[in-house]
Structure formats: structure tokens, C-alpha cells
Amino acid sequence: MSTSKPFLSIIIPAYNEEENFKKGALDKAAAYLRKAPFSYEVVLVDDGSSDPTPFLLEGFTASKKNWRLIKNCHQGKAATVSTGVTKAKGRNILFTDFDQATPLDEVEKLLPFLAKGYQLVIGSREIKGAKREREPFYRHLMGKTFNLVVKLVVFSGIEDTQCGFKLLEAGVARELFSLLRVYRQKEIANAFTGAFDVELLYLAQKKGYKIAEVPVAWRHYRTNRVNPVKDSLRMFFDVLKIRLYDWLGRYEK
């Protein structure tokens, strides 16, 4: 890899991704990057997977000079992405889901907004122009309900906080992730994504950063990691914690 900073660091968190790996999720990303109109690095961060994922990723990255693997203990998605942000070398940072629910080439819809002065550009499945495919009704309802809670409790102005496709200037990303309080690094026992995106966006608004919400294509991939009742309740209480922590001054440096 060149010693100069790549234009974009792409962070891909991984937890028990054997099935997605065999479906070629990373192959699709690599195919796009071979012709991408920018310099890049890919930082895969394994979240203490208990299946063969770490070995599969080791083999995959071994032959790719712009790809590297970092291994974490199991701490959840927020800590996994945060590790990638800390280790990223690029001028800008994109984090995206392993299953490529939003294909990597959708980043070309986000990039122009950096040139317009936005420091954080987020993919959205809710605003006009977005495309959603194969999503079960209950998942869509969960998302709509959660976004309503966010608007009532934390902030308004963003229609989709949870799309896992977000682009930030590197310095902004490092600052915001360092300020996370609800989702500070700690070992956990099960798979959990949580509402760290909400905390991240809340902090970005609090700091006065310009945020653009851009419609993207997104396809639902079946997973057994989501417990509709348990996860929804936990995320609801986490949203309340964000508001509480702000009242207590825990986001002040």
C-alpha cells in the first residue's frame, strides 16, 4: 500500500459472517473497488466471531494489498466500527455492513456532498429516491417506530438513522466516536447492533457539523441476529440514555 493517505477508508465490521462470506459479499465489494475512481483501503474488523469468519477473512485479505484485518474481542458493532475508525488511514471514512445490503458502489451518491461542505453524509432508505427490496413488514414497522421515538426523544430532521452506510471526514469520525458514552467499549455475550448511529448523529448535531441524508438502494438479507422484541426494547432504553447523558453533561469534554 502507498504511504500516502488513501482518499477513502472503508470499514467493514464482521461478526459470524460465514454465510455472507460464502454468498460473495466481499467479492462484490472487491469487484467494485478494482475500478473505483479513488484511492482506498479496506479495514475489516472482526468482532470476536465464534465461527470460521476470522480464518476466512485472513485468507481473503492475504492476497489483497489494500485490505487488512483487525481482530477484536466481542464488543458489539459500535466498538467494532470504532476500532476501524481509530486504525483508518484515509482522509475520509465510510462504514458499511458486511452483507452489502447497500452495495458499495452507492458511495458515489454520497461523495459529492463532501465537496459541498458536509462533514457527515448518511445513506437513507426512507427519503424520496431510496429503494428498499425484500424487507419483511415487521422489520419496516420496527424501523419506522424507532425513528419516531428518536424524533420525539433525541432529535428530528433525519428520516433514517439506522442505515449502516455512513461517510465522514476522518477527523470528524475520530472525534465523534471518541465521545460515545452509551456505546463505550465493553465485552458482551451476544450479537447486538444497537442505536450507536443515533448517538453518533446526535453528537454530530450537537457539534454543529453539516449532515446530508442521501437516498440509497438497500436490500434486506435474512438474519437470525435480530430479536424484534428484545432488541427494540434495548434500543429504546439506549435512546433514553442518550438524552439522559446529555442532561448529565457526559458529552462535554
E runs forming strands in the chain: 8-14, 40-47, 67-72, 92-96, 120-124, 131-133, 165-169, 211-215, 217-219
Residue 217, in any domain of the structure = yes
Structural domain span for residue 205 = 8-247
Q: Give 147-165 pLDDT, tens digit per residue.
A: 899 999 999 999 999 999 9
Closest among 106, 85, 76, 32 to 183, alpha carbons compared: 76
Q: Coil, helix or strand for 115? A: helix
Q: Give 120-151 pLDDT, tens digit per residue.
A: 999 999 999 999 887 777 777 788 888 899 99
Which CATH number does the domain housing residue 61 bear?
3.90.550.10
C-alpha cell at 78: 459500535
From residue 240, how far is each of 74, 198, 233 by CA, in Å? 24, 11, 11
In angstroms, the CA 182 to CA 194 distance is 10
Per-residue burial over 86-105, b = 16 or more CB atoms within 10 Å of its CB, e = otherwise: eebbbbbbbbbbbbbbbbbb
Residue 31, in any domain of the structure = yes
Residue 1, in any domain of the structure = no
Residue 242, in any domain of the structure = yes
| Number of domains within the chain | 1
Q: Coil, helix or strand for 152? A: helix
Residue 226, in any domain of the structure = yes
Residue 106, in any domain of the structure = yes
pLDDT at 183 over 90: no
- The pTM for the full model equals 0.92
Residue 253, in any domain of the structure = no
